Amino acid sequence: MSEILNRRLALLGERANLSLLEQCLHGIERECLRVTSEGRLAQTPHPEELGSALTNEQITTDYSESLLEFITPALPDPADTLASLDSIHRFAYSKLGSEYLWSPSMPCPLPAEEDIPIAYYGTSNIGQLKYVYRKGLALRYGKTMQCIAGIHYNFSLPEQLWPLLKEAEGFVGTDRDYQSSAYIALIRNFRRYSWLLMYLFGASPALDAGFLRGRSHQLEQLDPDTLYLPYATSLRMSDLGYQSNAQAGLTPCYNDLASYTDSLRKAVATPYAPYVEIGTHQDGEWVQLNTNILQIENEYYSNIRPKRVTYTGERPIQALVARGIQYVEVRCLDINPFLPMGIDLTESRFLDAFLLFCALNESPLLTNNSCGNATSNFLSVVKEGRRPGLQLQRDGEPVDLKEWASELLERIAPLAALLDQSHGGDAHSKALDAQLAKVKDPSLTPSAQVLAAMAEHKESFSQFSLRQSQVHAEYFRSEPLSAEDQGKFEARARSSLAEQVELEQNEVGDFDVFVGSYQASILAISN
């Protein structure tokens, strides 16, 4: 174990500091497609009974009108976070009629591109901005790719922890600077080790054959309706022929916050010739917010993001530059189609130990070489993580995946033990043991279990997914919310609709001017 990790563990293990780790915060965002009883994409508008997708903080839409997103508050106990997510699911099911929530990450059989409905947010300027941004995504990447769903895991360490570590390490600079540099160090380690999460939690080894729209690919045919790779863990996180040429040159450096925000700011302000050729308008209608590499910073696809809660009208980069990093958003997690919510407490407890390891372990700067290795290790695991004898690259040397995974879990064990010491019980260590079992026996991984279930039931990907969706629907519908909780959700839905109406009625200023000032806001930031 590294000296720095030892010192930090000892400091946090002191009686006066031990309770700090109970104050980590956990939030979950779960995306899922609404589908018909036949397992086709629902073409119905976002159900009004769920409230306004623009202003309801817990239930919104992601890319498509048919792609729901459920958002929990950030809470200290992940069991409470998951209970909140469970309630949102139960409320949604009370309003979905005959529709289902699609169980896996990869989409159901989709209609023609032009028939995939883009999420609509009404006539306010901010609502129109969200809509035009999505039109731009359709133009740049196609709508099909935008129908992939995932789980985002938001995690923060307690604010009081950073001054403690900063003082112990004699860091010169403000508390905020130390906190941001520590989160960036976490992100660098996440880049190094996130292949492990794909092996343990990847759950998309197969997909509907129609998803690739006849494009060339390296996948194998499992049955007439299903494409797959025999050892894949997460085709969702593979390139699938979708590498964005515009984003290809954009690899934000995670050496410090300033260089990260700078690279994104440049991308939002740098024209990209093919987009310039299209322009922002066609036939007088907006088709994209701008003709730059990125329309907005969130367009950058990454496996993990540094985040800060934004004020009204503030952009993510502005918040980061002004007030530093507050938490990280892990974005590479597949939805587990065997779990009603796509994630469970065991996964959450392990993620906490893994992220704490990334935060407290030493994290040298990523050289070009180590950056490339991190990317290629990740891609190897998503495409063939269960291949016997798979080798990854570590410090320029080949290493067996199983060997490295076992070593990493051994190094994460003291972090799980520290979390258990802080919380009482042994839930984190047990969660770690469950992951060790998957390393020893790949058939226990979600990706292997998906293929095994399809084989056992002689099902295509879509048949398997619809069956799981029906099982989960029954799970949620068989035990409705209490009248009190149901009432709270309904009241929130109603007030969100009223809020949207008020926004639209009191809108000041023209949309074109609004977009102009929105674009200008990014150029005004100085590091």
- DSSP H helical ranges for 388-426: 401-423
At residue 241, the pLDDT reads 54
**Least confident window among 146-150, 245-249, 422-426:** 245-249
* Average pLDDT score over residue span 299-311: 94
Residue extents of the structural domains in the chain = 3-523
User: What tens digit of pLDDT does each residue of 254-269 get?
Assistant: 889 998 999 999 999 9
Q: Is the CATH code 3.40.50.150 the one for domain 3-523? A: no
User: What tens digit of pLDDT does each residue of 197-240 get?
Assistant: 999 999 999 999 999 998 889 999 999 999 999 999 999 999 88
Cβ neighbours of residue 510 under 8 Å, at least 6 residues apart?
none
Query: Residue 108: what are its φ and ψ, rounded to 5°?
Result: -70, 175
Dist. CA 107–CA 71, nearest whole Å: 20
pLDDT at 486 over 60: yes
pLDDT at 1 over 90: no
391-394/327-333 β-pairing? unpaired
| Size (the chain), residues | 527
In the chain the first and final C-alpha atoms are separated, in Å, by 36
Identify the sign of the CA torsion 156, 447, 106, 34.
negative
* Average pLDDT score over residue span 337-345: 98
Contact 449, 206 (CB under 8 A): no
